[in-house]
Structure 1
Amino acid sequence: MTYFPKGFTSCSINAGIKDDTLDFTIIYSDVRASAAAMFTKNQFCGAPIVIGKKHAADGYLQAVAVNSKNANVATGDKGLEDARTMTEAVAAELGIDAADVLPSSTGVIGVPLPIEKIVSAVPGLKARLRADGLEQSAKAIMTTDTYPKFRTRKLGNATVAAMAKGSGMIEPNMATMLSYILTDAKIEPADLQEMLKRAVDVSFNSVSVDGDTSTSDTVAILANGLAGEVDLDEFQLVLTDLCIELAKEIARDGEGATKLVEVRVSGAETDKIAKKIGKSIINSPLVKTAIFGEDPNWGRIMSTIGNSEDPVDTSAVSVSFADVHVFKDGMPAEDKRAELEDYLKTDEVLINISLGHGEGSATVWGCDLSYDYVKINGEYTT
């Protein structure tokens, strides 16, 4: 069942940025909301990131304005001016302070944002805001995604709704591709920021499609308090679960992907080392193409583990596909190629890696690398 948090409405339209699909959305809270956000560390970050960081810095927001089909990245001073113009136009329409609007843009890099199309499309949108419009917002923020990513949860009297987009240029660094989380729970900004970071570290920061950190990564959470207080520990669990679900959907919907790949690493010296090795597996072109080809060439996994910058006790390493071991305690396991070939025909592949007896562990998600990935990215701007 789909739930919608109290006091949040949205509207999605086609502003004509690139084609005739949905490309612009506004998400609005009836009241000023506590807020927290995390952004890309890419040094060529989009103009909306520069503006968004300033607007979210005081811990409060009231609206989010997102356009797809154009990232407004590498567009110089004009790009910054356009990002400000977008927030000002939305703020004027909603009757709120422009500093309470978080802007986001996603799409092709290096092309000026057709800001005049957005500005001319904004008047009248406030009257079109709908409480059940959030699912349309999840569609409006898509670029090469093949389906929208939207989830909701109930927590006592409170509701949490979350959406995300992302399919390519996915290797988040302190944030996700684009994700907006909305709740009517009453939570202070400082608590929101801490909880968001915890959730992001084990979800969006644990997913990769192609190893490229986007210039536009943004994840933001707004809590308007209209449903009252909640147990913060319970909220953390719900928030983390939602973020993990969305992160897995992003990996599953990776450009050209045919399989979701989950890598669980245990026995590492630290969680950080476990995550680094897990990420190296899901980012390896050799591993990804073998999985696409349903070829149980597990030697590629061993090679990738061995390339770790951190010491690995190779005599203690074990690797399995689901529960079928290919390498155990530093030695090749019984050859079960036929069984492995059958397993790799599934659309979800689990790789378990044990590095020994350390306390560190991590789970990461990625996808295979298909012919279609090359086709999609070889024709992206044409």
Structure 2
Amino acid sequence: MKLPEGFRASGVACGLKPSGNPDLGMIVSDLPATAAGVFTTNRVQAAPVQLTRRHIRRGSARAIVANAGNANACTGKEGYADARAMAEHAARGLKTSKERVLVNSTGIIGVPLDMAKVRQGIDEATNALSTEGAADFAAAIMTTDTRPKTADATVGPARIAGFAKGAGMIAPEMATLLAFIVTDAAVERGLLVEALKESSAGTFNAISVDGCRSTNDTLLVLANGAAENEPIGAEHPLAGAFRDALNEVCASLARQIVEDGEGATKVVSIVVEGATSPREARRAAGTVADSVLLRCALNGADPNWGRVLAALGTSGIPFDPNVVDVWLGGQLLCQNGAPGPGDAAKARAALLDRDVEVRIGMKRGDATATVLTNDLSADYVRINAEYTT
């Protein structure tokens, strides 16, 4: 994938990962870039999240630095000092201010960063920056991911490119996902902030791998204006096209995260229809998506619609169970809260596919929502039983 104009990237191995794989990446804009971000809602927030929240308030940035293999979370004052040192060290090499460097980390929680390795990695990554460095950056931010995740789109004369990592600790409300989007479009900050918030709501905040929110989740977007277009604001003719292109990139990255979920064998769409509002529909779909029992059943292609209704009942929504319909694999297995006319054998056959749909009719209104999740396999348990050992 080609980077938008005015951006360079790199990825190097500095020794944070025992495997020796790349573990530190940088994206740099040659021009000051308008910046916006969305962060984890977990009350326990990693040092780089705290620092980057402060830096991005200025609305401008030049660089994103991200390490994998160590989350720098729950590391006390030393951890915050280390995050700040990362920004300062990168800033010196890039000849910019430390406030214009956005720092990110992902990996094991509760272990101090090896700053000697990090500083060496930042130096090497700075020297390796290239307009052809997109693939290296995408590889350097991976943890339990099995493959890099990238997406791109165009808007008028400009391009948008996105990168993400995440395979576990994924839940709605920004959950260990990191995502970085860069564009050479000139975009007014007001529109950038609003468009990012809207896109994340229907993409990154509408996926769940395990219902666990991370301490480090961060979604950043930089717009440097190198395409030399007239700045896109809310009333600009390209405003709608920019929103659509940004959403296209976010949606692709979010789906790739679910497809690469730890131990996953299926991508599951939880579709809720007939809710009273989009918020209620998302709440219902998210609650069902987080059901461990349902996701175990889907791993075994078991058309157990009772798991769906039971999960929905914990959502806190005052619905009438006696009117709810549930389809699994296209079969109406539950009608008005009781066994439906669908064929369970056909449902089971459909649940063997890679892409599976669970559809719920609440009959309360006209609002709909879809949350993507996946099945829960023995491999997920194995991966997380051995994460630090």
Q: Helix, strand or coil: the match of 2:185?
A: strand
Where does residue 377 of structure 1 map in the other structure? Answer: 384
CA distance in 1, matches of 2:158, 2:240: 14
8 Å CA contact 2:261–2:374 kept in 1: the answer is: yes
Where does 1:58-207 land on structure 2 (aligned, <5 Å)?
A: 58-123=58-123, 125-174=125-174, 177-207=177-207
Residue 360 of structure 2 is aligned to residue 361 of structure 1: no
8 Å CA contact 1:204–1:244 kept in 2: the answer is: yes
Segment drifting more, 273-282 vs 224-233 = 224-233
Where does 1:1-382 land on structure 2 (aligned, <5 Å)?
A: 2-19=1-18, 20-123=20-123, 125-174=125-174, 177-227=177-227, 228-229=229-230, 231-382=238-389
Partner amino acid, structure 1, of 2:155:
L
1:349 Cα shift? Answer: 0.6
Q: CA, structure 1 residues 106+125, in 2 after alignment: closer, same or farther (shift >3 Å)? A: closer
CA distance in 1, matches of 2:89, 2:226: 26
8 Å CA contact 2:48–2:105 kept in 1: the answer is: yes
Q: CA, structure 1 residues 289+381, in 2 after alignment: closer, same or farther (shift >3 Å)? A: same
1:122 Cα shift? Answer: 2.7
**Which digits, 9 at most, give the CA deviation of each residue in 1:199-255, with x for residues without a partner?**
000011111111110000000000001112451111111111221121111111111
Q: CA, structure 1 residues 200+42, in 2 after alignment: closer, same or farther (shift >3 Å)? A: same
8 Å CA contact 1:3–1:159 kept in 2: the answer is: no
1:3 Cα shift? Answer: 3.8
8 Å CA contact 1:45–1:215 kept in 2: the answer is: yes
What TM-score does the superposition give when structure 2 sets the normalisation length? Answer: 0.95
CA distance in 2, matches of 1:88, 1:279: 40
Partner amino acid, structure 2, of 1:10:
A
CA distance in 2, matches of 1:296, 1:125: 50
Partner amino acid, structure 1, of 2:58:
D
Q: Which consecutive aligned stretches of 4+ in structure 1 deviate over 4 angstroms post-superposition? A: none
1:309 Cα shift? Answer: 0.7
Q: Helix, strand or coil: the match of 1:91?
A: helix
Q: Helix, strand or coil: the match of 1:185?
A: coil
8 Å CA contact 1:151–1:162 kept in 2: the answer is: yes
**Which digits, 9 at most, give the CA deviation of each residue in 1:28-70, with x for residues without a partner?**
0000000100111212211001110111001111100000000
1:124 Cα shift? Answer: 5.0
CA distance in 1, matches of 2:60, 2:283: 34
Aligned residue pair count: 381
CA distance in 1, matches of 2:184, 2:282: 33
Partner amino acid, structure 2, of 1:12:
G
8 Å CA contact 1:64–1:101 kept in 2: the answer is: yes
CA distance in 2, matches of 1:216, 1:355: 35
Task: Calculate the aligned-residue CA RMSD, in Å.
Answer: 1.4
CA distance in 2, matches of 1:306, 1:47: 37
1:123 Cα shift? Answer: 2.8
**Which digits, 9 at most, give the CA deviation of each residue in 1:132-183, with x for residues without a partner?**
2112211111100111110111222100001111111111425671000000
8 Å CA contact 1:61–1:222 kept in 2: the answer is: yes
8 Å CA contact 1:203–1:244 kept in 2: the answer is: yes
Segment drifting more, 284-293 vs 152-161 = 152-161
8 Å CA contact 1:172–1:217 kept in 2: the answer is: no
Q: Helix, strand or coil: the match of 1:106?
A: strand
1:315 Cα shift? Answer: 3.2
8 Å CA contact 2:164–2:253 kept in 1: the answer is: yes
Segment drifting more, 316-325 vs 100-109 = 316-325
8 Å CA contact 2:329–2:348 kept in 1: the answer is: no
8 Å CA contact 1:256–1:372 kept in 2: the answer is: yes
What TM-score does the superposition give when structure 1 sets the normalisation length? Answer: 0.97
1:369 Cα shift? Answer: 0.4
8 Å CA contact 1:175–1:200 kept in 2: the answer is: no
